[in-house]
Amino acid sequence: MSASGGCFLRGMSPSLFGVVSDFHDPRRLLLDFDLPERPDYFHIWSTLRLLDLEPLWVRQDRTNKGVHVVLALRRASKPLESLALQAVLGSDIRREALNLFRVLRQPTGLGRSRWNVLYSYKLS
């Protein structure tokens, strides 16, 4: 367990809340869609093109409630930019509101590095 009260380990190691599949990376967007159908990739691509952002690759993972999409971008973005992009691209608005809370409350340190994560599954 870390000094912050949780243990967030990569891969198949359980954290306090579940198994983390992806942590924040300045060159990646982590999108969470709680929909049974696939995300609207036309909206995603057209929005990225409008903002002059070039995706390098995309990964889509099924979850119990929907889909996680990881988008790698050519350029790095600041945390608030990543958060705004994720919200504009249609990621779960509640998740992004909580991410905003974390970014604003944890300006530096360990909490800041864990503000944007995706879980491969959550513990119950």
Looking at per-residue pLDDT, the higher value among 107 and 3 belongs to 107
| DSSP of 71-84 | EEESS---HHHHHH
Where do the structural domains in the chain lie, given as residue ranges?
Answer: 23-108
What is the CATH code of the structural domain delimited by 23-108? Answer: 3.30.70
Residue 35 contacts by C-beta under 8 Å, 6 or more apart in sequence? 66, 67
pLDDT tens digits, one per residue of 8-21 = 444 444 445 667 67
* pTM of the predicted model as reported, rounded to 2 decimal places: 0.78
